[in-house]
Structure 1
């Protein structure tokens, strides 16, 4: 277990998503860099061929890989999601937003939903 939001927590999220057959299927043809933003903390993820293959803290001035899609929200919105609020409720009210290359985001929308909703399945250290 690890504390949310932290790199260890996002690594656990990566392992969880990679173990889900629906996520593997939804990202089977994906090759996308994305950023998850939890308030002030940002994390870069590389999704490729059915797996999240890399995760690191996102530091814009030192991350040469860039990103295509950003999924962001304040930490309290993510905590609401982790405690059972459905992702569509948070997305439709703008508490969690998707930005960047919206065509790419639309292509991987199922994977984004699975990724976001998987936060509720990753235990947090209290």
Structure 2
């Protein structure tokens, strides 16, 4: 089993997204990238027409459409809480959107599907690296 938030973990995670009709439907008109900053770890995902076509552990040269960032403790809470705390974490500024916030707002259903898939992939036996990286 790979460790969250490693590149290997997120590459496995793309298979969960591939199987999620809500994610694919909600992101079907998106041609861009999402950067997730989990503590000091960066994961960059290129999404085209509802499919993740590339995952890197650094931002690509041509940038990011938008970023969701926060301390590793908040990502751990997102993945392991009994209820989904994503909305609360945004409201309280614990997970922060930056970049093209208008685009992220347009894609909120797809982002929520991504979060649901993150929680599904995490399950009860997730291994989380301390400090956000391996």
Provide the aligned C-alpha RMSD in A: 1.5
Measured in 2, the distance between the counterparts of 1:65 and 1:114 equals 25
Measured in 2, the distance between the counterparts of 1:52 and 1:107 equals 18
Displacement after TM superposition at 1:86 (Å): 2.1
2:95 alignment partner in structure 1 = 96
Q: Is 2:105 the partner of 1:83?
A: no
Aligned 8 A contact 1:11 1:55 in 2? yes
Measured in 2, the distance between the counterparts of 1:99 and 1:113 equals 16
Runs of 4+ in 1 over 2 A off after TM superposition: 123-126
1:88-125 alpha-carbon deviations (Å, 9 max, x no partner): 11111111111101111112111112212322111324
Measured in 2, the distance between the counterparts of 1:101 and 1:76 equals 25
Aligned length, in residue pairs: 123
Secondary structure of the residue aligned to 2:44 is strand
2:107 alignment partner in structure 1 = 108
Unaligned runs of 5+ in 1: none
The 5 Å alignment of 1:1-126 reads 1-59=1-59, 63-84=60-81, 85-123=84-122, 124-125=126-127
Secondary structure of the residue aligned to 2:69 is strand
Measured in 2, the distance between the counterparts of 1:102 and 1:4 equals 25
Give the TM-score of the pair, scaled to structure 2: 0.85
Secondary structure of the residue aligned to 1:115 is helix
Q: Structure 1 pair 116/70, CA: closer, same or farther in 2 (3 Å)?
A: same
Give the TM-score of the pair, scaled to structure 1: 0.89
Unaligned runs of 5+ in 2: 129-134
